[in-house]
Each structure stands twice: as C-alpha cells, then as structure tokens.
Amino acid sequence: MNVAKDFKLFDQSDRMLGGVNVLLIYPPVRLTQQPLYPPFGLLSIASVLEKAGAKVEILDLNIRRLTFSELKVELAGRTFDVMGTGGMATVYYYMKLLAEYFKKEYPQVPIIAGGTACSGSPAVVAERTKFDVTVLGEGEPVIIDVIHALLNKSSLSEVPGIIYKDKSGNLIRTAERPRMANLEELPFPAYHLVDMDKYIANSNIYKIKKNKVSEARITALNLDRTKANRPIMIFSKRGCPFGCNFCYRNFGRKVVGMSVQHTLDHMAFLEKKYNTINFIFGDEIFNVDRNWVMEFCEAIISEKRNYILNVGNGLRANLVDQEMMLKMKEAGFCSVAVGIESFYEPTLKDMLKGQSTEVIAQAVKVIKSSGFHLSSAQFLFGYPSDGPESMAINVRMCKELGLKNAGFSIPCPYPGTLLYEKALKEGYLHDEEGWLMELADKDISDRIINMSGKPDKELKKLIWEAEDEIKLFFIRKDFPILGSALTILQKIGRKMNVSSFDVLKGIKDNGKNLLLHGRLPGRMLKSGSANHIHIRDEALDLLKNWESGTDLVNHRIN
Ligand code: B12
Ligand code: SF4
C-alpha cells in the first residue's frame, strides 16, 4: 500500500474553511453512570477546524443524554455544512443510528466518522453505515482536507488515511497515512466547546477525599482545596510499543510525544482556564520514556508547580524503578495505576504481556514503598490457561502485595486486537457488526464473552469467590469485628452460590435509587442513575427497524 508523505497541518492556506459550519456530535458513553471524560478526540479535531476558520459546534450527547426524539427537536431547523461523529467501539451502534438519521433528514449534508470504532473496524463502518467518509487513526491531519474535498466536491482520493464512497457507491481506501510527527503543531483541544465543569465535577476517583496521599500533600503544602478537587485528564504522548493481545492501540506502536515544555504550557493553560491543579495522565503508558518522565518531574519541581498529579491509564511494570518513582512522588504524583492483568505466568504468556509475574510484583512493591496510592488493580481472568490454580495464585499475590481493590474482568476481544483475531479463528465470533452491536455501551466488566473453554458458571464463580476473599481478607485485617460478621455472610453466600458483597452492593444501589428517584431500577446498577439506560435501548430498537438483517449474535454469559 502507498504511504503518503507527512505534511504541515496549517500549511494549506488554499484549503482554509472560513464560513463553514461543522457540527460534531459526541455519542453518549456509559449510560448508567454520570459523564466522566470529555471527548478528547473531537476536541482536538475541533481545535484544528477552528484554527482553519470553521465555525464548530459540539453537540455533546454524553452530557446532554437526549433521547432520540429530543435530539430530533434539538436539530430541527438548524443548518450545518458537515456533520462528524466518532468514538469507541462501544458507541458504534449510536454512530450508525446518527448516520441513518442524517442521511434521511439532511441528505445534502456530508457526514464523517472517526475514532477507535473506525480504526478498529474500518470495513464495518465504511460498508455497513451511511457515512460518506470513514477516517482511520488520527483525525487532525486529514479533517481539513476531507471537509474541503466534500464541500468543493473535489476528489477525496488524494486524502490519505480514509475510506470513502465514490459516485458509484464503491468503497475506496486511500493511501495509508503516516502518524503525525509533531503533535505540538496542534492547538490545545477546544475545551470551550463542551461543558468542562460538568466533566470535572464527575472525575470522582481522583478527588482528594478518596485518596490519602493527595490529602497529605494538600495539607503539607496548604494547597487550594477547590483547585485540587477539579481533576482534568491530559495526554503527553500517543502510541505504545508493546503488543498485549487484548489491547487496541489506536495510534499504533510508534510513540510520538510532546515536549516537557509543551506539556507544562498545556497544564498552565488548564490551570488558569479551569481553576485546577489536579491532572490525570491518560497516555497509553506514561513511563514509556524514562528520560521524559525524569525531565518532566525536574521541571515541575524546579518551577514549584504544586500540582496533584495522577497516572490514570497505567505505568508499564517492567519500566518502573525506585529512583523514577521517588522523583515522581517528589514532583507531586499521588495516585498511579499499573498494568497487572495476572500473576500467573502461563496467562501472562497467553495475553502476550511481555513481562513476568516477578517483574509485575516488584513494580507493585516499588510503587507502594514509594508512597503512592495504587488507584486500581485490574486483572483479566478467562484466558484458556486460567482456572482454580491461576486464581489461587492471583489471590495469594493480592493478599501479599496489599492489593485491596483487585477487580477481575473477563478478557473482551475488541475489534482490531489480536484477541479478536483469535476469537474469529476459534469460532467464538463470526459477524463483526453483530459483535459491535453486542458491545453497545458495555464495559469490560459486563462480561459478555467467555473464551476460556470453561463453563460460564465456573468462570464467574471463580471470580466472585476470589473478589470476596480478597475484600474480606483486608476487612478482617483492618476491622476484625466487621470482618468476622462479613465472613459469616460470605459462608452463607457461598452455600447459596452468590457473592455476599454483590448482594450488599445491590441493596445499597437499589436503596440509593429508591431514595433518589423513588423507584427501583430494572436491573442492578453499577453506580449512578438508571435514568439514561433507555437511550441505548431506544437506539438499538430504532436501528432494528431501520435495517433489518443485522445479525445480532448473543454472547451474553449466562
Ligand atoms: C479516556 C478513555 C476512556 C474514557 C472516555 C473516552 C472518551 N473520551 O471517549 C472512559 C473512562 C469513559 C473509557 C471507557 C472505556 N474504554 Co476507554 N479509553 C480512554 C483512553 C485512555 C483515552 C482516549 C482518548 O481520549 N484519547 C485521546 C484522543 C485524542 O484520541 P482518540 O479519542 O482516539 O481520537 C483521535 C482519533 O481516534 C480520531 N477521532 C476521534 N473521534 C473522531 C471523530 C471524527 C469525526 C474524526 C474525523 C476523527 C476522530 O481523531 C482523534 C485525534 O487524533 C484510551 C486509551 C488511550 N490512551 O488512547 C482508552 C480506549 C479508547 N478505551 C477503550 C475501551 C475498550 C474502553 C472500555 C470498553 C473499557 C472498559 N473499562 O470497559 C470503556 C467503554 C465503556 C462504554 N460503556 O462505552 C479502548 C477502545 C477500544 C476500541 N476499539 O474502541 C481504548 C483504546 C483502550 C485500549 N487500548 O483498549 N475510556
Ligand atoms: S495494555 Fe498497555 S502495555 Fe499492553 S499494549 Fe496496551 S497500552 Fe501497551
């Protein structure tokens, strides 16, 4: 395949978009919870479009949570020249519905799709939806050219990194596009186009009251509590060089980073505009470049930026060392996450994690001994090598390492991953669009597919028993009387084949819902309110009517 040359983003004065109205729509994400993070992808595209002179609006359905009929009213009588939407694989269903709707109501308006749904499942988005153009990978380098071509009806064939329909309806995939070499060319994301205050208010887990390490820093340095309680996610690089088979790398294996200075400037901008000193790094792997981390920490320290810093998405265990962690601590990092996944060697091999149990355990020890709050301990359980033996090892290690908040998810093959290829090969999945529909608004914790070769019941029992055991172990240590009472409950639960913690959580969630909304939810909630779940069902119902023949395979675990 041809590879197009890289080019300067704004070095294209003949293609400026003055006077063009662009509507970007962000689909709702996690309908049973409050909106958590703004659409960073759309915000970045929007900033590029604004710089090119376009008038951009983001209709943020993640915040607004409009039903489809409300959306119709919202858009009625409005005019725009182009519509774009995008997001994760879990919003494919919604993107498809939007495309159907726009082609019916606004047949003259060209529509563009982007995001990980498109890069992971390019053929499905291009063939099975009504989008005119499907953008693959980074959107910023092509968005101006795509819109320019669509509005001037010039050829899209010269725009690399897209799939489009030609006049006869044939799908054309253009030359592959290289990754952006210089991310500093990009303006800061167009935060002003969404309700950042609402998003900031919801970033609960990084709030200081939940975190003793942040709390201690605030007290020691007498930091402004209001600012410290306004966490914002930020990115300093794109890409990950590793090859875990469950992970979708939207930006590929090449890591392209921003300079320390650019990152500091971005933080200063956010501090001023959004009154915050609390930042969460969302990079695929924050510590992929040790020198960068050290330089960044030195700069933060020497400039006396008294921030609360967090690594939200994860540190790579084999790149963790004590010196770096202590420097991070000194710079104000309080809470970090690390990719654990499993402590069982054969499972680590199965998932192509590329690191050993020993390395992961050592990283956890170093992180803890350096004084960090470990924000989560996420495991994947359900590879063919998993069973009672691997779970026993995981549980023992969690107890030894003090991993109180261990959570086990069943590996989920998102399109574009090696695990997805395996699922196809082994006959677990056969219809990519059907699978995307099944993924609609689901979390990995929804446990919708079982590729372990073990019965669903056995797999789930191993998981809830382990989670109960780990929780109880630490409760007994910290609160012996409560621990003994819960141990009795656990024994009763086991006899009845249910998790006592799940039952307690169910009572708590349902009680909360009854108090707040005066009714019980139709299904057990993870958190938040049930008010918006109907949006997903409404969208799926509408889609079924629109396009019969969508082969919905059901992989729900019984
Ligand atoms: C923040 C985040 C979240 C946030 C929300 C994300 C958001 N704002 O939409 C939350 C916490 C809610 C979340 C949840 C989940 N996430 Co998430 N998340 C991320 C994370 C860390 C950053 C995403 C991001 O903002 N990147 C930065 C922006 C700039 O990149 P981008 O969104 O890809 O946008 C670029 C292009 O895609 C494109 N683009 C995007 N939109 C559009 C639109 C148009 C019109 C165009 C032209 C281009 C375009 O241009 C952008 C700029 O180059 C990534 C991992 C990572 N570090 O990338 C995972 C990631 C996106 N998540 C992923 C997954 C699997 C999930 C979950 C299913 C996991 C889970 N725990 O259950 C849930 C989904 C739950 C649900 N019910 O939908 C996968 C996506 C897999 C896939 N094929 O879609 C990723 C890639 C992680 C991974 N490696 O597996 N996530
Ligand atoms: S899980 Fe982490 S280390 Fe593995 S490929 Fe994904 S981002 Fe990279």
Q: How far is the CA of 186 from the centre of ligand 2 (A)?
A: 25
Strands (E), 316-381: 333-338, 373-374, 377-380
Atom in ligand 2 nearest the alpha carbon of residue 243: 5
Summarize pLDDT for 83-104 with one digit per residue, the tens. Answer: 999 999 999 999 999 999 999 9
Per-residue pLDDT, 69: 82
What kind and span of H or E run contains 74?
helix 68-75
- Which of 278, 239, 236, 282 minimizes the C-alpha distance to 261? 236
Residue 214 and residue 228 in contact, taking contact as beta carbons nearer than 8 Å: yes
Residue type, 229: N
Q: Pick 510 or 460 by higher pLDDT.
A: 460
Summarize pLDDT for 114-169 with one digit per residue, the tens. Answer: 999 999 999 999 999 999 999 999 999 999 999 999 998 788 999 999 999 988 88
Q: Is the pLDDT of residue 1 over 60?
A: no
Edge-to-edge strand ranges of the sheet holding 333-338: 231-234, 278-281, 308-315, 333-338, 373-374
From atom 7 of ligand 2, which residue's Cα is the shortest distance away? 284
List C-alpha distances in Å: 355 to 132, 264, 319, 415, 541. Answer: 43, 32, 10, 24, 44
Backbone torsions φ then ψ of 103, nearest 5 degrees:
-65, -30
Q: Is the pLDDT of residue 359 over 50?
A: yes
- Which of 410, 407, 465, 419 minimizes the C-alpha distance to 442? 410
Rounded-to-integer distance, Cα 269 and Cα 124, Å: 39
Rounded-to-integer distance, Cα 312 and Cα 174, Å: 35
Which residues, other chains included, contact 363 with Cβ-Cβ below 8 Å and sequence gap of 6+?
Answer: 315, 317, 318, 320, 338
From atom 3 of ligand 2, which residue's Cα is the shortest distance away? 242
Q: Which of 44, 116, 134, 446 gets mutated to test ligand 1 (max ligand atoms within 8 A of its CB)?
A: 116
Summarize pLDDT for 425-447 with one digit per residue, the tens. Answer: 999 999 999 999 999 999 988 87
Q: Which of 186, 250, 283 gets mutated to test ligand 1 (max ligand atoms within 8 A of its CB)?
A: 250
Rounded-to-integer distance, Cα 43 and Cα 24, Å: 9
Q: Is the pLDDT of residue 21 over 80?
A: yes
Q: How far is the CA of 117 from the centre of ligand 1 (A)?
A: 9
From atom 7 of ligand 1, which residue's Cα is the shortest distance away? 39
- Chain centroid offset of residue 42 CA: 14
Q: Pick 545 or 444 by higher pLDDT.
A: 444
Backbone torsions φ then ψ of 341, nearest 5 degrees:
70, -50
How many Cβ atoms from other residues are within 10 Å of residue 400's Cβ? Answer: 12
Q: How far is the CA of 416 from the centre of ligand 2 (A)?
A: 14
Can you state the percent helix, strand and coil of the chain, rounding each to 5?
50, 15, 40
Rounded-to-integer distance, Cα 448 and Cα 410, Å: 8
Backbone torsions φ then ψ of 283, nearest 5 degrees:
-55, 150
Q: Pick 69 or 315 by higher pLDDT.
A: 315
Q: Is the pLDDT of residue 80 over 70?
A: yes
Is beta strand 133-135 parallel, antiparallel or unpaired with respect to 162-165? Answer: antiparallel
Q: How far is the CA of 318 from the centre of ligand 2 (A)?
A: 12
Atom in ligand 2 nearest the alpha carbon of residue 248: 6
Question: Average pLDDT of 26-52?
Answer: 93
**Angle, CA of 23, 199 and 379, to the nearest 5°:** 110
Which ligand is the nearest neighbour of the Cα of 237? Answer: 1
Per-residue pLDDT, 482: 85
Around ligand 1, the residues with Cβ closer than 6 Å are 29-30, 36-37, 39-42, 44-45, 84-90, 112, 114-117, 120, 135, 138-140, 143, 235, 247-248, 250, 282-284, 313, 414, 416, 441-444
Rounded-to-integer distance, Cα 374 and Cα 379, Å: 14
Residue 333 and residue 364 in contact, taking contact as beta carbons nearer than 8 Å: no
List C-alpha distances in Å: 282 to 141, 238, 285, 540. Answer: 21, 10, 8, 30
Q: How far is the CA of 376 from the centre of ligand 1 (A)?
A: 19
If pLDDT is split at 50, 70 and 90, which confidence band does 525 have?
A: very low
Q: Which residue has the tokens 């915050």?
A: 276
Rounded-to-integer distance, Cα 396 and Cα 366, Å: 18
Which ligand is the nearest neighbour of the Cα of 206? Answer: 1
Percent of all residues in the chain with a pLDDT value above 70, rounded to a whole number = 89
Per-residue pLDDT, 547: 55
Entry pTM: 0.92
Atom in ligand 2 nearest the alpha carbon of residue 284: 7
If pLDDT is split at 50, 70 and 90, which confidence band does 533 have?
A: low
Around ligand 2, the residues with Cβ closer than 6 Å are 240, 242-244, 247, 249, 284-285, 314, 316, 339
Which ligand is the nearest neighbour of the Cα of 250? Answer: 1
Rounded-to-integer distance, Cα 462 and Cα 76, Å: 52
Atom in ligand 1 nearest the alpha carbon of residue 446: 72
Per-residue pLDDT, 508: 73
Residue 29 and residue 64 in contact, taking contact as beta carbons nearer than 8 Å: no
Handedness of CA 246, 231, 275, 57 (dihedral sign): positive
Per-residue pLDDT, 206: 65
Q: Is the pLDDT of residue 7 over 60?
A: no
Residues found in the chain:
558
Which ligand is the nearest neighbour of the Cα of 280? Answer: 1
Q: Is the pLDDT of residue 397 over 50?
A: yes
Which ligand is the nearest neighbour of the Cα of 251? Answer: 1
Q: Is the pLDDT of residue 239 over 80?
A: yes
Q: Which residue has the tokens 């060209």?
A: 110
Computed on alpha carbons and rounded to an integer, the radius of gyration of the chain in Å comes to: 24
Q: How far is the CA of 87 from the centre of ligand 1 (A)?
A: 6
Domains recognised in the chain with CATH numbers: 8-183 (3.40.50.280), 187-479 (3.80.30.20), 480-527 (no CATH)
